[in-house]
Structure 1
Amino acid sequence: MKKRSALFFDIDGTLLSEKTKEIPASTVRALQKAKQEGHAVFINTGRTLCSVPVKIKRLAFDGLLCGCGTYIVYQNEVLFEHPLPEDHGYEYIDRMRELQIDGFLEGTEDVYFSERISRFENVESTRRYMASMGLGVEVAYEKKGFRYDKILICTDEKSRKEEFFQAIDKDLIPLDRQKGVYECIQKGYSKATAIEVMRRHLELSMDQIYVFGDSSNDLSMFEYAKHTVAMGEHDPVLEPYTEYITDAVEQDGIEKAMEYYGLI
């Protein structure tokens, strides 16, 4: 058996197929085998805790690293949490409306949409998706009275996005997710900082860390780790930092990668 390692997985496009919206049986099998071999398995996601799908939570991961490093749970114990300062968070809500920015706010307990119908269909489709999980239906973000960790914004020619980026600069960094969509994550926190917290907590070496991802918001953990697995369908930005490219999630990519490294 390989020495005990810690495996960190993105969700969308890595564990959860974006085509079938399901977790392949081979992935479930591989995760179970990895735990039997003594490895620790973690979710490492841009999603905040509330929006991690139940089907993912049922897989009994050792820990959930959420919100791009701003909320870390290990064996049901919260090791770390860092929401935005309350006054700053409210300021950004006001600036969104003023600068013709739309989107939603992501917190540990809930997600928050505007009380107004968005001109962006992807905001409304996300609202419907979140509502199907019981999220984003109770408190409109104009009402305030809550804290959150990050912002997902949509922009178009009406949006004064550069002014918005300047307004959030003291706390947030915008990651370009293409087509006018930006994921605004907290400065100083990332999927990489989350792994470092767990690596130190578990007293592991860098050689015992494996990361699996497919998108641009996985870049920090690919830059951080030595053993990096990109899914068959992945953002090219990951390639300079990728050690191994596996097949797509629907083609048993996770199981094949674990077998390649001798983890299972």
Structure 2
Amino acid sequence: MENRKILFFDIDGTLLSHRTLQIPESAKKSIRKAKEKGHLVFINTGRTISVVNKEIKELGFDGYICGCGSYIEVDGEVIYSNDIDKSKYAEIINKIEEYDLDVVLEGREAVYYNRDTSTDAILTDFIKNNYPVSTYKDENLQFDKMYMKYGDNENLKDFCDFTKDLFDFIDHGNGGGEMVPKGHSKATGIDFVLNHYNIDDKDSYAFGDSNNDIHMFERVTNSIVMGNGNPELFENATFVTKDIDEDGIEHAMKHFNII
């Protein structure tokens, strides 16, 4: 298809509203319309594939870039997956406990926690939606990414130093952040997919709202920041669309004549 475009969507705060915990109907219809017109649509998320929900999968995405580029699936086939040496698990967990950090270990089969989930909105939502959630003691523990709430914990820097050969730290602000496998990002995932389809950069679009979308925005030609997103991202965006709950996805797609 001539002028086929490829669209990359973050999930939390971009497709999935933090207020309603739902995907707006206008966003669902817009994604389906884009597919009908022959464009490619991809999820590009910090979430691991284990916690990409059924509602999103039912939209018929052409593929998934998960865990900030550490897992890539195209047309139902896994074409890339990064694995952390399991021999490192015990020492990482020991340091988490030594430094008293609140860390969710994220894997392809489940996410694993070490604290009471009742105070964490994301984990509470995962459990409510029957996502695979377990504890560090799970005998099938497997992870390749971490999400943490560090608050005012003074040990964060020491933990980042300890894991620097394996992970890069992305600070989300407000006392939260994620540890991403070294050398991986939403941008490296886009590289992989663009090469797979041999699509020109000028036809690439990314939709996001937060700091872990910065690499994605820098990699594509057309960066769209949600109106509810981090205002620091607005200045360098190609387009700032409306709030997610004000039909922001649909508004942006119409602006770029995608639908």
Partner of 1:20: 20
SS of match in other structure, 2:207:
strand
Residue 33 of structure 1 deviates from its aligned partner by 1.0
Q: Take 1:212 and 1:127, find their aligned partners in 2: how far apart are those partners?
A: 24
Q: Take 1:45 and 1:102, find their aligned partners in 2: how far apart are those partners?
A: 21
Partner of 1:106: 106
**Is the aligned partner of 1:128 residue 2:136?**
no
Instruction: Return 168-177 or 125-134, whichever deviates more.
Output: 125-134
**Mind listing any 5+ residue stretches in structure 1 that lack a counterpart?**
none
Residue 151 of structure 1 deviates from its aligned partner by 0.8
Q: Deviations over 1:15-73 (max 9, x none)?
A: 11111222112111111110111100011000000111211111010001100000111
CA change 1:164–1:204 in 2 (3 A) is same
Q: Take 1:38 and 1:182, find their aligned partners in 2: how far apart are those partners?
A: 36
Partner of 2:136: 141
Q: Take 2:255 and 2:153, find their aligned partners in 1: how far apart are those partners?
A: 49
Q: Take 1:157 and 1:24, find their aligned partners in 2: how far apart are those partners?
A: 35
**Mind listing any 5+ residue stretches in structure 2 that lack a counterpart?**
none
Q: Is the 8 A contact 1:223 1:241 kept in 2?
A: no
Q: Take 1:87 and 1:140, find their aligned partners in 2: how far apart are those partners?
A: 18
Q: Take 2:153 and 2:244, find their aligned partners in 1: how far apart are those partners?
A: 37
Q: Is the 8 A contact 1:44 1:64 kept in 2?
A: yes
**What is the TM-score when the length of structure 2 is the normalising length?**
0.93
Q: Is the 8 A contact 2:11 2:45 kept in 1?
A: yes
Q: Take 2:192 and 2:107, find their aligned partners in 1: how far apart are those partners?
A: 20
**What is the TM-score when the length of structure 1 is the normalising length?**
0.92
Q: Take 1:158 and 1:222, find their aligned partners in 2: how far apart are those partners?
A: 30
Q: Take 1:127 and 1:227, find their aligned partners in 2: how far apart are those partners?
A: 32
Pairwise CA RMSD: 1.9
CA change 1:39–1:246 in 2 (3 A) is same
Between the two proteins, what is the percent identity of the paired residues? 36
Residue 159 of structure 1 deviates from its aligned partner by 4.7
Counterparts of 1:131-210 in structure 2, within 5 Å, are 131-135=127-131, 137=133, 139-143=134-138, 145-157=140-152, 159-210=154-205
Q: Take 1:158 and 1:42, find their aligned partners in 2: how far apart are those partners?
A: 36
Q: Is the 8 A contact 1:127 1:136 kept in 2?
A: no
Instruction: Return 53-62 or 18-27, whichever deviates more.
Output: 18-27
Aligned residue-pair number: 259
Which amino acid in 2 is paired with 1:222?
A: F
SS of match in other structure, 2:174:
coil
Residue 2 of structure 1 deviates from its aligned partner by 7.0
